[in-house]
Amino acid sequence: MKKCVLTLAALAFMLVACMPPTANPDNGPTSTQPVTQPATATPDPGAGLPPVTGPDPSLRVGAFYYPWYANPAVDGEWFHWDYRDLPLPDSISSDYYPVLGPYSSNDPAVLAQHMAWLREAGIGVIISSWWGRGDFTDQAVPLLLDAADHYGIKVAFHIEIYDGRTADSLIDDIDYIYANYGDHPAFFRTTAPSLYVPDDRPKAVFFLWAASSSDSHNPVAPSYWQAAMDSIHARPEGTIVLATTGGNMVEEGHFDGVYNYITLDVNSDSFTWARSLPTGAWYVPSVAPGNSAHRIGYPEETYVPRLEGATYQTQWAAALGTGVEPQMVTITSFNEWHEGSQIEPAASGKDDGRGYTYASYAPLPANGYLTQTRGLIDDFDAIDWSQTTTPIQIRITTSSDWTNVTLDSGGILIRPATLTKSEGATAGLDDNSLSLNQPIQQASAGREVEFALDVQLFNMEWNTPLVFLIARGHIGKTVVELYKYDGLTPILIQTFTWAGINSNAGNVQTFELPASELMDQP
C-alpha cells in the first residue's frame, strides 16, 4: 500500500507523502512484523489443491504481487489486513473483500490457488514486493517460489523504497537475491537483450520502485544510480534493472528500461512517454483495472473507477497503441487489496456486519478480470510489430541558439537513437518534437551545431502528407535533412531550410512531404 500516485509525473513519492500521519502499512524491514517463520514445504497437488491446467502462461506479461498478508491461523497474528484497526475478519483494510477472505501469504493452499488463477489468466510472471533482506516479504519467498514452480509461473522482484536503501545496498540486495533464490527453477530469467546488456545470457529482471529517491527521505537524480547500474550490468549474469518513470532514467541512470507502475489518467495518451525511450531500452507499461482506496484514507483524486471492466480495456489499448513494442506488460496488480487495484477474485455482496458493503466487480463475475486478462494477452501476442513503423534518419544543423523541429501531423516519431550531437549542444526528442540548442554566445559568434538520429515513423498513411514545423531563434538558420533507408544505407529524400523571420509566435515555418516518399509501396 505504498503507491499513492496521482499522475505519471508524480511517481517519485509514495505513501509517506500522501497517507495520514498515523498510517504506515508498508513498514519495510525495520518495522514490527509477524515473527512466525513461513512454511517451506512445497504444496502437495494431491491434497485438494487446484490442478495445473491449460496452456503455458505468457512470460511477456507480469503482475505485481504482494506477499505481505498474515492471519492468526497461519502466522499467529494479523498483518496488513488490520491497517485501519478494524474488527477482523469481517472488516478489513480494503474497499473490496477477497473471495479467499483475509488470507495468509504463507498458506500453501492460498498460494496454490493464486498460481492457478494466474495461470488461468495467462500471466507467466509475478513481480513480488520485496522490502529488504530478512523482511517478512523476504521470508515468504521460498514458499512462493515452490508454489509458482508447480504451476509454471516465474518470480521476479520489486525492490521497494525501504529505509536505508542506497545505490550500494541495491547491489548487495541483488547479490543476496541471486545467492539465495537464483538457482530455483521458478526464478525469472530472460535472454532478451537491453541497451546495456545486448546479449542472450539468461538474465534476472528487477524492478526498482521510486527510483527518483534512494529511500523515503532522500530524492536523487537519475545519475545517482549510474555507477551501481554499471556494476550490476558487469556481473556474469548480466541482469536487467527497470526504474519507475520520471527523469531520464535510461540515458542518465543507465537503467535498462522503465515501467510506470500505475497511471491514474485514464485516456489514450497515458503511455506516450514510451515514444521517447531510446532504441534498445525496455518499454514496460503497467496497466490497472482501477484504483479504489477510500477505506484506507487515500485522497479522492487517486480513485479510478473500474467502469465494468472498461478502464482495464482502455489502459491495455493505450499501452499497446504507442507504436513501441512492449518488452513486457505488467498488471497493477494481482493482489494489492489496500489500493483496490487487484484482479484477484473479489466477493460480491459482502458486508462487514457494521453497515459497510464492500465494492465488487459487478456486473463482471468474481473472476471477471482473470477472463479479461486471458483475452487481452491473446490480443497482445497476435500483434505483428514488424509492420507498424518505418525507419528514417533525421539530421538537423543550426546556427541559431535554439531550434525545434516538430512533426505536426501525418505520423509519430518514436524510438530515437542518437548518431551524432555537437559538443556543448543539448538535443532530444519529446512529444514528436526534436530540439537542438546551444549557448546564445556561441550562436552569436556564428557557430553551427548538429544533431543526427535514427528514428521510427509510426502511424503514417500513404496518401497523407507529413507536416513539419521548424521553429528557431532570430539568429542564423536551420537545415533539416530527411533520409530513407535502402537496407542499411540512408538515402537523402528531402531538405528543408528555414532562415527567415516570421512575426508569428516562435518564428515558425511549415514544410510538407508526401509520406509515400519515405514509405515502401503499400
Q: Are residues 215 and 185 in the same domain?
A: yes
Establish if 218 belongs to a structural domain.
yes
pLDDT reading at 420 higher than 90: yes
Establish if 415 belongs to a structural domain.
yes
| pLDDT > 70 in the chain, percent | 91
Using CA atoms, how far apart are residues 285 and 271, in angstroms rounded to an integer?
7
Establish if 49 belongs to a structural domain.
no
Least confident of 7-16, 122-131, 488-497: 7-16
Establish if 30 belongs to a structural domain.
no
Q: What is the pLDDT of residues 252-277, one digit of tens each?
A: 999 999 999 999 987 778 899 999 99
Q: Are residues 380 and 400 in the same domain?
A: no
Residues 269, 311: contact at Cβ < 8 Å? Answer: no
Q: Are residues 333 and 398 in the same domain?
A: no
Question: Cis omega before residue 43 (within 30°)?
Answer: no
Query: What confidence score (pLDDT) does residue 5 get?
Result: 34
- With cell 513539419, the residue in question is 468
Establish if 485 belongs to a structural domain.
yes
pLDDT reading at 20 higher than 80: no
pLDDT reading at 444 higher than 90: yes
Q: Are residues 339 and 425 in the same domain?
A: no
Query: What confidence score (pLDDT) does residue 284 get?
Result: 98
The parent domain of residue 486 ranges over: 388-517
pTM for the model stands at 0.88
Q: What is the number of domains present in the chain? A: 2
Residues 237, 202: contact at Cβ < 8 Å? Answer: yes
Give how far Cα 426 sits from Cα of 150, 201, 435, 449, 451, Å: 52, 35, 8, 10, 9
- Of the residues 384, 414, 440, which one is the last residue of a structural domain? 384
78: CATH: 3.20.20.80
Query: What confidence score (pLDDT) does residue 504 get?
Result: 78
| pLDDT > 90 in the chain, percent | 84
Q: When comparing pLDDT for 83 and 288, which is higher? A: 288
Q: Are residues 269 and 177 in the same domain?
A: yes
Query: What confidence score (pLDDT) does residue 503 get?
Result: 83
User: Computed from CA positions of residues 68, 71, 76, 80, in that sequence, does the dihedral angle turn out positive or negative?
Assistant: positive
Q: Are residues 329 and 376 in the same domain?
A: yes
DSSP string, 223-292: GGGHHHHHHHHTSTT--EEEEESSS-TTTTT--SEEE-S-----STTTTGGGGGSPTT-EEE-EE-S-B-
Q: Are residues 155 and 282 in the same domain?
A: yes
Q: Are residues 312 and 402 in the same domain?
A: no
Mean pLDDT of 345-374: 96
Using CA atoms, how far apart are residues 360 and 366, in angstroms rounded to an integer?
8
Query: What confidence score (pLDDT) does residue 41 get?
Result: 44
Q: What is the pLDDT of residues 153-167, one digit of tens each?
A: 999 999 999 999 999
Establish if 4 belongs to a structural domain.
no
Q: Are residues 276 and 411 in the same domain?
A: no
Query: What confidence score (pLDDT) does residue 522 get?
Result: 66
pLDDT reading at 307 higher than 50: yes
Query: What confidence score (pLDDT) does residue 58 get?
Result: 98
Q: Are residues 278 and 201 in the same domain?
A: yes
Q: What is the pLDDT of residues 161-208, one digit of tens each?
A: 999 999 999 999 999 999 999 999 999 999 999 999 999 999 999 999
- With cell 515513423, the residue in question is 457
Using CA atoms, how far apart are residues 43 and 70, in angstroms rounded to an integer?
18
Comparing C-alpha atoms, which of 406, 426, 390 is closest to residue 496?
A: 406
Establish if 437 belongs to a structural domain.
yes
Q: Are residues 237 and 201 in the same domain?
A: yes
Q: What is the pLDDT of residues 216-246, one digit of tens each?
A: 889 999 999 999 999 999 999 899 999 999 8
- Residue 47: pLDDT band (50, 70, 90) is low
- Residue 32: pLDDT band (50, 70, 90) is very low
Strands 489-498 and 478-486, by their bridges, are: antiparallel
Q: Are residues 363 and 407 in the same domain?
A: no
Average pLDDT, rounded, for the chain = 90
Residues 17, 302: contact at Cβ < 8 Å? Answer: no
User: Residue 182 has which C-alpha cell?
Assistant: 537464483
- Of the residues 384, 408, 436, which one is the last residue of a structural domain? 384
- Of the residues 328, 359, 384, which one is the last residue of a structural domain? 384
Establish if 253 belongs to a structural domain.
yes
